[in-house]
Structure formats: C-alpha cells, structure tokens
Structure 1
C-alpha cells in the first residue's frame, strides 16, 4: 500500500531537497516561483503516465481471464490513484509487426525465439483469438491501444491482420482508446520488411489502405467503435531520413497521411541512445538535463514542422510519445535498471509535460533491462518492481489532478542546469507543487556526497 498523493509527493520532494543540499552545500540558488501558471506552461492530457507493452509480452504482463496478473493490476492501480487517471496501455512494439493472426489457434500466443536475431523476444509469432482476453484483466476503466501488423508484406498476412480486427474490438469494447497500424515503419528497410527504395508515398498508400480495411472490419463487427481513430505514424526517427531511419515523418504527413481524418494522436518514439553504442554513461547520457532538453528538442522540432505544413496536412491533434524509454534494444544492465535511470525518468517525463508533449508511454517487456516491473518469474529475472517504477510514481504524483475537471499546468523553471532541474505544477491556476531533481550521480562507496543525515 502506498501513501496518499500528498504524502508520497512530500516524501519524494524531501529526499530530492536533501540530495540537492548535499551536492551544493556551499552554494545558494534563487528559484523564482509564480503564484499563477505562466502562459508557456504545458497542459498534459489525462493519463499522462502511461505504458507501452511489447505485444509478445502482453499476455505475461496482463495474464488472461483464468489467471489475471494481479501484480500488474496493482501497479497500474497505484499510478492511477496518484495521478487521478489510469495509465493507457498501448500494446505493440517490434513484435506487433511480426505477429500473424490465426483464427484456428487455441493458444493465445505462440512464439519462437531465434537468438541470432534477438534473444529478447520471439521473432516468429502467431496469435489466436484468446490473445485478446488479456485486454479484460486490468483495472476497471483502463483504456487500450491495440497495434496491428503492417510489417508483414504478403496478401495472406494482411488478410489475417484485417480479420483480427473483429476479435480485437469485441474483446476491448468501450475500453478502446485508439488503434495503431505499424510500429516504426521508418525501420522497415533496416529490418528487412521492405526494399531499399521504399518511400514515404508508398508507406502512406499502404497505411491508408490498411486503416480503411481495419475500420471497415470494426464497423461490421462493432458498430459503436466504427469511428475509433488511430495513433500514428509511430516512427522511430524524427527526420530527415538517413540510411537507418529511411522515412521522414514530416514527408509522410506531407503525402497525405491524415487525408481520411482518422488520426487522433501524433505518435512519435524516442530513446536516449542505443544500449550497445560506445560512450553511453549514466551521468552523461541519462542523468543529464542538458541531454534531456536536447532529445526532447528533436521531438518538438518534428512537431513544429508538421504543424507548419498547414493546408489540411497537419491533423491538429495532440503530440505524444507512444513508445520511449532510456536506451534502445531493451536497455543496458547497470544503467537502465538503476535508480539513476529512475531519476532520469522523472526529469524526462516531467520535462515532456512542460513542453506540451501530451502523454508518455514508457515501453515494457518481459526481461527487458529498462522495464518498470518484471511481470512473471523467469530464469533471467524475478517478479518484482524495478527502479524505474519508483520514478513513474513520482511523475504520477507530480501530475495529480484532484478532480476530473481540474486543469493541470507544468512549468520548467529557468533555474535548471545540467545536473539539476526544477518544475512547478499549478492546479486550477494555483501553485500546488515544486519538484527539484538532483541528477548528480551518487555512489554509496564514495565519500564525495557525504551528509550528516541518513539517505532515504
């Protein structure tokens, strides 16, 4: 059982203030606070703290009707109680574009791991109708986004994907928030799903044809959900295109991605780096506010370029991160699963909110190094919460809205520096919270940040 919102936030703030005092004991810093929210404050959507679940891991995180995952249920409830709205569960990721639907399959998901391709998730996957039971196990009121396979490039695979829409809509029902068609299609060439000359225009044509087919199937099976919109385009890169990210998201919009007016959220993906890249460090890559501002700036420039298209090409809908976490390729041990990464998660997510990036879906997968919790016992990891989850709790407390009608505004304060960041939350134009994040690394075996009081 967790403390109430106010108590948890005060505890987190006290811990952060102690750390700040320890690291700058001989310095003073003035922080100017405004009683009312400034005009440039960010206004996050409800369910700002949300999650993205690897499709192949979803049955393990959620369970099924016979064996619901009560651990995940409780952890999602904690977040919902703190921020005032339950997280939205986006189900997708790399395995979304691998999974082939088989209506005759009795088992929810069958997967084969090929370590030469990836040891983190299966790369041959079939799902059956019972896969969709997992959408019925989480706290009442949880909303979902289900991801359909765009990567498979055969008529049989597409027919199976469109057939799965009826099963998905019947299982999710009124808890459906959005659909998604394709995960990171700007990596389809790198992944071998499309030829090297694959263009934005070809992607848009495929996406329009596929989403029309999905919507038609949903209209026939679930008439009340016929107008459900999509989150898109879910690109990994922010443009311009290069040899790795071979599609430019702005050009996709310019080619008429939203010409059917069926996109409800602009969804982009982000990682602070790649886990296998040289030079990645906790202090330099994650616990670094300058890097946070720079990476978020890439997303903001993409959004600005989309808005600048005008002429009906800009969908004029909220911009979100539909998938993100610390380091791509499921994180790095010792970095992504550290409490330093938890502090990065606090700084990163609250900064996003302050910049009007409206919702944050942190990606999760079984045995992933950056996961917030391990949903089941495996030979690689024990079931339990991981350090990033405690950062998620702090962000949820910062985003707390006492009533559904409350207006929350988040401000990034100019006193922030490379290793310290400062934020305020105003609720209904009243200063309600101050958040101070100390990003100086601390090692219990060192004496560079000793204090006369016990650390929490």
Structure 2
C-alpha cells in the first residue's frame, strides 16, 4: 500500500505557499509507506472455479455478434458556427466524479490524515489537472447510521460494528480524522466533497457531521445528502420507517432537519447546504417528490436536487434475492445508444424542474448494476463505452454531475480498487474501465465550465455527440459499440463546420487531433488504452498513465470544407476541433511517485475490514442488502471489525515529485 508524506518540503516542491497548504490537526507530521510485496494475482484459474474477490474475477463474456447489415460505413455531420438548436446548458468539466461508500473510505483514501493513499491522489490529480477539480461523495447506505465519535483505539478512523438489522447494514463509527484526511487530499488535488447526514434517527437528527464538516473542510465541502434512497425506507426488510412512508413523510423529515439546522449556532453556513431527495426512482417518481412542494418550502437550504440510478441489479446472484440474471444475456443491452436514452428518460422533466428552481441536478450514485455489478460485464471495455455514453447523455439532458460508485473488494464495477490490505502479495491498485470513462469525459468537457453538449446520433450502435464552448464547436465524441476485427463495422464520420447550404462561411479546421479509447473487444477486461497510454491490468497501477501518448493528427479537406475521422469497431474517438481545446487538457501533471517501502510487512487488517458495502462480498461471504428489489440496491456488510490495525514501522522515507509528460 502506498501512502503520501505531507511535509513542508512537499509544499515547496510543488510550489504551494504556506497559506495554500496546511497539515491539519491532529497529526503534525505526515508519513507514508508501502507494504513491500512482489507478487500479484494472475487470474489463471478458470472463471467458473474462481472463488476470490469480485474485483479480480477473471470472467470474460462473449462480445455480441456484429450486426447484419453492418453499421453505416459513412456518416455526415453538419456543424454550425455560433451554436446549434438543442444544446444543453453549460456543463462543468468535473461532471463525472465518484461516489465512495463510507465504510470503505479509509481503505480508498488513506489510513488516516497522515497516511494518504498515493494512488488515489494520482487518480484525482489526473482529473484535476484537466478540468481544475474533482467531485467525490463519501456516503451511501452506510452513512445512514454513521456516528461521529471523538476517538477510536489504535488510531483507527472508521470502524464497523455488528449488524443487528435484517439487511446486514453495520453500524459505522468514524472520527474527525476522516475529515482531516479528506481535507489534506483536497490540498493536493482540489477534490471537493459531498457528505451525508445520518437519517435513520430523526429525534433529533445527528448533525455533528455538519458542524465538523464545515469547520474542517471549509470551502472543500460541497453539500450534505439528506437521506439515501428514502423511497426504499419502508420497503421490507429495510423498514427504518413505518410502512406507508411516502413523499409527504420525507418532506416532513426534511422540514425537521432544516429547522434543527437553523437553530444550531455551530452550523455557520445554513443556506445551499442539502442535497435531496436522492431517490432510487423505483418506488417513488421524482415528480412524486416535487409535487409535495418540498423544493419551494426549503429552497434556501437546498444545494442541489439529486437522484440515484443503476440500470440493473445483480442481487439475485449475489444475495439469493429474486431472479438471477446471466450477464451474458444482458450484455448487448448496454452496447446501444438506447441504453442511455431509456435510462435518462424518467429524469428529463426533473432536470428542467431543477433549472427552473436554479438548482443543480445530480446523478448522485450510478454504475453498471447494483449489488456489485456483473462479472465480465461491469469490468469490461463495453462498460467503459456505456459509462461514457451515459455520461454524455446525462450532460445533454442537463444533469450537472454524475458520480460513479466505488465499492470494495467485492465489487465488479469499481472505477479503481486498492489492493487487499491483509494480503502482502497484492501490491498495486487496479484501475477499471469506468475510470477511463471519467478521464475521457473530463477531456471532452475541458476546464472552461462552458461546454454544451448535443446528441447527433444517427445509428444506435455508433452514438455521436458534439461539444460547443462559447458558440464554437470544440470536440466531437464518436462511439463504436460493435466488436468486429474484420473491419466491416468500422465507420467514418465526415463533418463540416459551416459552408455548403448553411449560409455560413466554411469554418472546418485544416486539421484535427484525435484521441482513441481502445481495447480488442467490448468483452475485454484488460489492456485498455487511452491515446496509447494505460493504467495497466490488475495490481499494476499507481494511478499514473503509463506509456507514450499517441494523439493522431488528421488532415482535413480544406477545398471541400470537410474532415473525415475513422472509428474502429470497437472504440471511442475524441476529436479536438481546435488546438486550444487539446492544449487545455494537455498540461503537464505533478503526480505522486510510489517509491517508498517498509523494511518488512507490518500492516495487519482483519479480513472483516474487507467485507465492504453496496453489494460487496467480504471475505466471509456475508450477505445482506439495503435496497432489496431495487435497481439501485446497495448491500452492506455484517462482519464486525474484530482486529486492530497494526502500526506501520517506517524504516526509510524517500520521496520525490515527477512531472508527467503531457498526455
């Protein structure tokens, strides 16, 4: 495990002033170390016999057969100077962020505020460097019973107790040092955070996290979620509210919370504070909530409106609940533009409602499937293409952010997964396909925060979007969902800016630059490449892109005022239509090298720590769920944390900063 030392020398190294960088109480000195290890899981066992953690499951599906007839070989796109009808509202570059289940936060972020996960810092820095900041939510079902306590033994910052409820959600306790840890990460990567108010007990609400969150995180704090999937509160076996709990009851709860906040003098910022209603939209519709008048009644207290959505669930297979879904049977349903069109349809009215009320509209938690995702699907290249299309579609339909969920070792869908901390043979992080999607999305939107998206799709297997900034088309996003090594389903997009019969002068550039996201098949679960660079396969990443960047230059036909871009089957192509749009996301990045090791393996974490939430299997194969029967099910762990974390013996500290070449 790699950790970052946050010392005054670090601030000097990266050019931060004393005011910009602070090591927060209670830790005065920050050190880091690595559990020295030399082996990694190879995945050589047959998938059918695999019994290890889901995050490294070797299952590979069959790619859907190529369509008959093939996709149209040539597609023409006419663009206009000054803008086009139907463009979205402006979208920020940090649109695609992450939702981290609270129970696994210490494993992902760092052991405490002095021991930061270097690989996580690099992953956040990649996005920050391209668009300026990153949005991350720490929460989920485990936040609903989380209790902030002053101190835990042995420097532990998060501890799970024994579940005493029918769905297996463990009570969670955490210390203020989790918040200090988050703030130190922000100092290095400009990460901005969402937290959640515990919502199981309303008499009164425990608002300690609001007080401490504001004091410790300051401007790095975005808002607090008030209720996680409240439409499922009364659905057995969750039942943390009486049967019949509905939107009006939720409105009453929010009213009580707002009144309590207003009466608490320790809460300094009372306006623009809460995110509601974060429903799964499987029991209540968003309109059911809006029609209560809740938004108007507490408008000043609201930061944003939000929903959560997964297209499918794997609860039948993982938890023995309901019908078991064979991922092979549904794989093709992810590999079409209709997947995103149909998924966003229930929220089109709500996004307009949010804009009318001057509130952001967030997809607060999403991924390929709840209850941990599907083996061979959620960790495939097809999932990367799906997540990108889904992100563009949400941006086009005026969502303002989308947060992709991160579980633990038991999840197939993780954008990134730290190595198991109790197994010294695992030494590196695993970066999944969804992270590639968020990185590509950041580059597509760029740092201007003025990007507007338009869906120009002509064929469901080959979605096309254009991005405008301040009236100028700056990028094209071109998809090919088909796997066909013969080349018969490769296609070419020819575009023109102005000219022809548009009544505008021709403005097609003389050349464009193209970055490709590639793999050999939509079913590939490794060997992904973004512009020729990669994060490697399982246990091979420290969060930095490796290899030489390969940005292709395409010369355009200036006489015909056209430009043609080839899109192979399968791939995603991001076409930079202006030099500035590429330069904006190509500055050099300061990253955090993982060169520090300990002399011997001194870190011990009980296996129950790895029994993580949101549908994740722990090493004890404990079962439970917090959202049964929903397409946004989230399962938490039942195993108690019975062991303590041994202290790390640091023998030598060596660290430097490296400038990464522009990518």
TM-score, normalised to structure 1, is 0.80
- Change beyond 3 A, Cα 1:134–1:255: same
CA offset digits 1:189-239 (Å, max 9, x no partner): 12221121112211111112123324544xx3353x3334211111111xx
Query: 1:384, 1:137 → 2: CA distance?
Result: 23
CA offset digits 1:383-434 (Å, max 9, x no partner): 2211211121111111113x4xx6211111042x221100111222111111
* Structure with greater proportional helix content: 1
Which residue does 1:65 correspond to in 2?
Answer: 113
Query: 2:391, 2:71 → 1: CA distance?
Result: 27
On the 8 A contact 1:135/1:171 being kept in 2, the answer is no
CA offset digits 1:25-50 (Å, max 9, x no partner): 87322223333321311121342122
Which residue does 1:166 correspond to in 2?
Answer: 211
Counterpart among 308, 326, 334 of residue 269 in structure 1: 308
Counterpart among 146, 153, 158 of residue 99 in structure 1: 146
Helix, strand or coil: the match of 1:326? coil
Are residue 147 (structure 1) and residue 196 (structure 2) matched? yes
Which residue does 2:384 correspond to in 1?
Answer: 342
Which residue does 1:12 correspond to in 2?
Answer: none
Counterpart among 417, 424, 428 of residue 374 in structure 1: 417
- Change beyond 3 A, Cα 1:344–1:117: farther
- Change beyond 3 A, Cα 1:307–1:408: closer
CA offset digits 1:54-88 (Å, max 9, x no partner): 11122222212110112111101111222x23111
The alpha carbon displacement at 1:170 in A equals: 1.5
How many residues are paired up?
Answer: 404
CA offset digits 1:284-307 (Å, max 9, x no partner): 332221121011111214445x46
The alpha carbon displacement at 1:131 in A equals: 2.8
- Change beyond 3 A, Cα 1:201–1:222: closer
Query: 2:482, 2:308 → 1: CA distance?
Result: 27
Query: 2:245, 2:116 → 1: CA distance?
Result: 42
Query: 1:254, 1:25 → 2: CA distance?
Result: 44
Which residue does 1:359 correspond to in 2?
Answer: 401
On the 8 A contact 1:282/1:341 being kept in 2, the answer is no
The alpha carbon displacement at 1:248 in A equals: 3.9
Which residue does 2:369 correspond to in 1?
Answer: 327
Correspondence 1:28-177 to 2 at 5 A? 28-42=74-88, 43-63=90-110, 64-82=112-130, 84-103=131-150, 105-106=152-153, 107-112=156-161, 123-140=170-187, 141-150=190-199, 152-153=200-201, 155=203, 158-159=204-205, 161-177=206-222
Are residue 185 (structure 1) and residue 230 (structure 2) matched? yes
Query: 2:278, 2:239 → 1: CA distance?
Result: 18
Which segments of 5 or more consecutive residues in structure 2 lack a partner in the other structure?
1-65, 316-323, 491-517, 521-528, 530-663
Query: 1:135, 1:340 → 2: CA distance?
Result: 32
Which residue does 1:210 correspond to in 2?
Answer: 257
- Change beyond 3 A, Cα 1:448–1:283: farther
Which residue does 2:535 correspond to in 1?
Answer: none
Query: 1:185, 1:26 → 2: CA distance?
Result: 45
CA offset digits 1:124-179 (Å, max 9, x no partner): 322233332232232433211111111x2363xx45x2233222222211211112
Correspondence 1:219-234 to 2 at 5 A? 220-221=265-266, 223=268, 225-234=269-278
On the 8 A contact 2:92/2:450 being kept in 1, the answer is no
- Change beyond 3 A, Cα 1:74–1:189: same
TM-score, normalised to structure 2, is 0.56
On the 8 A contact 2:261/2:267 being kept in 1, the answer is no
Which residue does 2:609 correspond to in 1?
Answer: none
- Change beyond 3 A, Cα 1:267–1:26: closer
Which residue does 1:236 correspond to in 2?
Answer: 280
Query: 1:105, 1:253 → 2: CA distance?
Result: 41
Which segments of 5 or more consecutive residues in structure 1 lack a partner in the other structure?
1-19, 238-244, 309-313
Query: 2:142, 2:197 → 1: CA distance?
Result: 10
RMSD (Å), alpha carbons: 3.1
On the 8 A contact 1:287/1:441 being kept in 2, the answer is no
On the 8 A contact 1:273/1:285 being kept in 2, the answer is no
Which residue does 1:411 correspond to in 2?
Answer: 454
Which residue does 2:15 correspond to in 1?
Answer: none
The alpha carbon displacement at 1:116 in A equals: 10
CA offset digits 1:278-329 (Å, max 9, x no partner): 365454332221121011111214445x469xxxxx7332222111111111
